[in-house]
């Protein structure tokens, strides 16, 4: 079947055509409109070229690939040095286009005709068709709509002939702006012109194969069309890449003569958007090996060990843009080598050992997307980047007023010098508002190297009063030191006789053993806790044979002191994780102890025996996700994952396992400011989820898959972008709440009073969405848990509650 495209649905061809393109103008960066009314010249076309927006074949969109010629600007001469035909158009006047069959309307007949014309020479006759929207870059979700790219804006073509395992041949257009259009799949068996051509080839030479012995297919045709007008060079580094009118450097770097991976970076700037985008040279060799140090992912490791060179070269000629993972998986831009690797029995065995290959592919896809994101932004994040990032196909996204978030300039860290300037020189009293200081730390963090943390953390943790004088602080420190010594002495005496008799003695011995075990496995990769050069003071310790170091011993003492200080709760696993960073910064046991004690005030609820604090936080997170991203929530519900249990570890030790050590310190000081909300850590959770939402929704169907995926994000999350995203999400949340409150201040419609007040029994106060006429309003009723997220006050449990539910040893 064939070149018999369905007729356009709308009445007039141009009408339907432009209706379509106008709708989507935002999606594409439209720079040219050739609205001459006469349209453009159709040079070549080929039918049954599909976009596969989803893995499901029923979603495939059939269309035409076409080479068009638009009228050149007056006086403009062809610039292509390699033009083979005199009078040939400039490459900027040539458009490579794809048009869905459904958009052709009355022009369909012309496309069919040109398709069936013998492709050996350009048509003698001039065929005019309406001009499709011309773009130079592809952004956003996979396009379901027509596009046309000036050939001059194409950087390279990734051409994959049909092969076993990847049935359809395909072509991906990589633009000079550094991004890629969706893959175009050639369904040759449906394409009349290709069938005819194959037959013709067979008839003429009894050989149905192309130049290099490959089966003739539709993609060859497209290359032939282009070669007629412009210079195309096959990449030596990656034979499936064809460079379009390459510059000298590109040609040398990746062209036919390229031998090794050249280190040159080909930065490209997209002047139409005014943003510098790193194009083809996405990942530098150093960068890629550093970030893809596939420590725990065997698939990645295997790829790295066997084929990293290939990947490296590959990354130079193409750029993976941010896409859904499915997009990437379906995208033939996955180097064939990698695809082959995936099919390799050895890799498959590795994969099989894991719960689901899907998770690993998903992670891999995310890794690539993340890498290119990092490369493109080069760590200079602007609010606009984030908003563009956020602007997924969810729709309903309002952009923030740019003025409210001119973040870049506020994101330098606070140095000791700047910190000191906040205080009055004579009294040592803070001379600006607390909020001003907090705002600086919230956005910029503190300098990790100059010792400012040592001072500033004591304010953030509440050891120092914000408006104290330096004299007062000295006094405060002295008295805290005394107190610590006393507290420590009290259990020290007790442990002289091994904890004493009875129940309490047993409890002490237990707790001591537990602390001992936990300290020896807390942050041991951090230099100050790594050493084992000191003989262990207790020969009966299980660690007597390996030795210890003075800092570990200090941690143990502080935790035992805390165990005695807060007997209601006692030591619980996870606390050593909370103490270690504070101690590492202070390197003074008494001061660190009190910093930790203040920190514990807010964390206490997470350690209660009945786990009520954790449960409550996970519930709040559930409400938050439902409120902010109902589609993701619905997916998680389907995957049986709305217990959000995969956030347990993150919430208990404040993301310590998810971020690298230095990033954790930064994150904690940001969270301690309570600048926007005392529950900002839940927005961090939301940001992490949001970042991975596409992958989760596309690939993870069961709780175990979601859990595994989230657990393995450990130490891979980029802090800076997460913080920005979290702030953005918070502000969006805040605005939504405000908007709803405003709306609800209007008198309710009389028809169904109180209908939106029904609450879901047990679970939450969110009303059922199916109920009532105003689903939008019902959907947005705000639970008390959500409302609390706007508060900046830290929730500290009353002593009584801890006593009752703490499960320590207090009688």
C-alpha to C-alpha distance for 445 and 260, rounded to whole angstroms: 42
- Do residues 218 and 226 touch, judged by C-beta distance below 8 A? no
Q: Which of residues 597-636 bind other proteins (CB under 8 A)?
A: 607, 609-611
Using the rule CB under 8 A, is 711 a contact of other proteins?
Answer: yes
Query: Is residue 515 a contact point for other proteins (CB under 8 A)?
Result: no
Question: Could you tell me where the DSSP H helices lie in 24-61?
Answer: none
Asked if 99 and 132 touch (Cβ cutoff 8 Å), the reply is: yes
The piece of 147-155, 280-288, 313-321, 652-660 that touches other proteins (CB under 8 A) is: 652-660
Residue 276 Rama label (left phi>0; alpha psi -120 to 50; beta):
beta
Can you list the alpha helix ranges (DSSP code H) found in 466-501? 470-496
Give residues 566-595 in contact with other proteins (rule: CB under 8 A): 570, 572-574, 576-577
| Residue from 102, 96, 106 nearest 45 by CA | 96
- Of the pair 562, 809, the CB lying nearest other proteins is at 809
Site mask for other proteins (CB under 8 A), range 454-493, x = bound: ----------------------------------------
Taking CB under 8 A as the criterion, the residue among 60, 265, 291, 356 binding other proteins is 356
We find the least distance from the C-beta atom of residue 291 to other proteins, in angstroms, to be 22
| Chain centre distance of CA 25 | 26
Q: Distance (Å, rounded) from C-alpha 204 to C-alpha 118?
A: 15
Of the pair 197, 351, the CB lying nearest other proteins is at 351
Gyration radius of the chain over CA positions? 32
Give the separation between CA 573 and CA 577, rounded to whole angstroms: 8
Provide, rounded to whole angstroms, the least separation between the CB of residue 182 and other proteins: 20
| Chosen residue from 166, 308, 423, 648 binding other proteins by CB under 8 A | 648
Q: Pick the binder of other proteins from 645, 737, 748, 804 (CB under 8 A).
A: 645
699 is a site residue for other proteins (CB under 8 A): yes
Question: Which of 399, 546 has the CB closer to other proteins?
Answer: 546
Query: HEC string of 700-745?
Result: CCCHHHHHHHHHCCCCCCCHHHHHHHHHHHHHHHHHHHHHHHHHHH
Only segment of 34-42, 151-159, 211-219, 645-653 that touches other proteins (CB under 8 A): 645-653
- Report in angstroms the alpha-carbon separations of 353 from 130, 271, 306: 54, 48, 20
Least distance CB 533 / other proteins (angstroms): 16
Residue 76 in the binding site for other proteins (CB under 8 A): no
Stretch that binds other proteins, among 120-128, 348-356, 451-459, 482-490 (CB under 8 A): 348-356
The only residue of 507, 549, 734, 792 in contact with other proteins, by rule CB under 8 A: 507
Contact status, residue 709 vs residue 700, Cβ threshold 8 Å: yes
**Cα 51 vs. chain centroid, distance in angstroms?**
25
* Residue 153 DSSP SS3: helix
H helix runs in 52-156, sequence order: 108-116
Name the one range near other proteins by CB under 8 A: 189-197, 255-263, 373-381, 643-651. 643-651
Single residue of 113, 517, 803, 804 touching other proteins by CB under 8 A: 517
State which of residues 87, 403, 404, 525 lies at the interface with other proteins (CB under 8 A).
525
Total number of residues that touch other proteins (CB under 8 A):
50
Q: Which of 191, 208, 179, 187 is nearest to 280 (CA)?
A: 179
Using CB under 8 A, pick the residue from 211, 353, 396, 533 that binds other proteins. 353
**Which positions lie near other proteins, rule CB under 8 A?**
352-358, 502-503, 506-507, 510-511, 513-514, 517-518, 521-522, 524-525, 542, 546, 570, 572-574, 576-577, 607, 609-611, 645-646, 648-649, 652-653, 657, 699, 701-702, 704-705, 707-708, 711, 807, 809
């Amino acid at each position: 079947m064939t070149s018999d495209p369905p007729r356009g649905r709308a009445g007039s061809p141009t009408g339907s055509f432009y209706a379509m393109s106008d709708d989507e103008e935002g999606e594409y960066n439209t720079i040219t409109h050739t609205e001459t009314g006469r349209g453009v010249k159709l040079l070549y076309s080929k039918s049954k070229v599909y976009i596969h927006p989803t893995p499901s074949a029923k979603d495939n969109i059939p269309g035409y690939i076409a080479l068009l010629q638009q009228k050149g600007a007056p006086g403009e001469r062809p610039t292509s040095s390699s033009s083979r035909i005199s009078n040939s158009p400039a490459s900027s006047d040539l458009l490579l286009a794809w048009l869905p069959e459904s958009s052709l309307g009355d022009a369909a007949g012309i496309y069919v005709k040109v398709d069936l014309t013998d492709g050996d020479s350009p048509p003698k006759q001039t065929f005019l068709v309406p001009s499709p929207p011309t773009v130079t870059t592809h952004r956003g979700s996979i396009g379901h709509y027509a596009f046309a790219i000036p050939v001059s804006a194409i950087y390279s073509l990734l051409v994959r002939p049909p092969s076993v395992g990847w049935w359809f041949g395909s072509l991906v257009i990589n633009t000079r702006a550094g991004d890629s259009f969706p893959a175009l799949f050639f369904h040759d068996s449906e394409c009349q012109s290709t069938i005819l051509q194959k037959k013709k080839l067979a008839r003429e030479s009894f050989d149905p194969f192309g130049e290099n012995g490959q089966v003739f297919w539709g993609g060859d045709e497209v290359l032939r069309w282009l070669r007629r007008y412009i210079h195309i060079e096959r990449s030596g580094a990656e034979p499936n890449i064809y460079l379009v009118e390459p510059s000298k450097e590109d040609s040398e770097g990746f062209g036919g003569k390229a031998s090794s991976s050249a280190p040159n970076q080909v930065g490209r700037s997209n002047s139409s958007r005014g943003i510098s985008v790193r194009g083809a040279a996405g990942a530098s060799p150093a960068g890629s090996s550093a970030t893809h140090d596939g420590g725990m992912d065997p698939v990645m490791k295997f790829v790295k060990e066997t084929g990293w060179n290939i990947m490296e070269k590959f990354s130079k000629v193409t750029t993976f843009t941010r896409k859904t993972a499915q997009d990437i998986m379906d995208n033939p831009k996955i180097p064939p080598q990698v695809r082959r690797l995936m099919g390799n029995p050895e890799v498959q065995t590795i994969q099989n050992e894991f719960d689901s290959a899907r998770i690993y592919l998903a992670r891999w896809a995310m890794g690539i997307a993340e890498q290119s994101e990092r490369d493109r932004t080069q760590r200079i994040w602007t609010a606009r980047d984030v908003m563009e990032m956020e602007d997924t196909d969810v729709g309903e996204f309002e952009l923030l007023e740019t003025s409210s978030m001119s973040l870049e300039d506020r994101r330098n860290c606070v140095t000791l010098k700047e910190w000191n300037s906040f205080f009055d020189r004579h009294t040592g009293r803070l001379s600006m508002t607390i909020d001003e200081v907090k705002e600086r730390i919230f956005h910029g963090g503190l300098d990790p190297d100059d010792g400012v943390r040592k001072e500033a953390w004591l304010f953030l943790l509440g050891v120092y009063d914000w408006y104290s004088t330096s004299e007062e602080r000295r006094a405060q420190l002295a008295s805290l030191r005394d107190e610590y010594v006393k507290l420590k002495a009290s259990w020290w005496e007790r442990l002289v006789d091994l904890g004493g008799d009875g129940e309490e003695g047993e409890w002490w011995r237990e707790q001591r053993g537990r602390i001992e075990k936990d300290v020896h496995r807390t942050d041991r990769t951090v230099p100050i806790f790594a050493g084992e050069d000191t003989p262990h003071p207790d020969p009966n310790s299980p660690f007597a044979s390996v030795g210890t170091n003075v800092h570990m011993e200090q941690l143990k003492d502080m935790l035992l002191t805390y165990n005695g200080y807060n007997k209601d709760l006692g030591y619980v696993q996870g606390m050593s994780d909370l103490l270690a960073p504070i101690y590492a910064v202070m390197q003074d046991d008494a001061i660190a102890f009190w910093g930790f004690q203040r920190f514990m005030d807010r964390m206490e609820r997470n350690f209660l025996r009945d786990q009520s604090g954790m449960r409550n936080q996970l519930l709040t997170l559930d409400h938050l996700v439902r409120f902010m991203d109902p589609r993701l929530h619905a997916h998680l519900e389907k995957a049986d994952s709305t217990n959000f249990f995969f956030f347990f570890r993150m919430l208990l030790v404040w993301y310590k396992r998810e971020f690298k050590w230095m990033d954790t310190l930064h994150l904690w000081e940001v969270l301690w400011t309570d600048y926007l909300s005392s529950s900002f850590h839940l927005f961090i959770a939301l940001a992490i989820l949001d970042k991975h939402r596409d992958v989760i929704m596309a690939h993870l169907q069961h709780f175990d898959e979601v859990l595994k995926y989230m657990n393995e994000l450990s130490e891979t999350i980029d802090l800076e972008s997460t913080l920005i995203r979290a702030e953005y999400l918070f502000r969006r949340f805040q605005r939504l709440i405000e908007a709803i409150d405003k709306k609800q201040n209007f008198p309710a419609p009389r028809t169904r009073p109180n209908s939106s007040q029904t609450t879901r029994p047990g679970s939450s106060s969110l009303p059922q969405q199916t109920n009532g006429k105003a689903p939008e309003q019902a959907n947005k009723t705000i639970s008390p848990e959500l409302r609390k997220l706007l508060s900046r006050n830290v929730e500290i449990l009353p002593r009584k509650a801890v006593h009752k539910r703490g499960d320590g040893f207090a009688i």
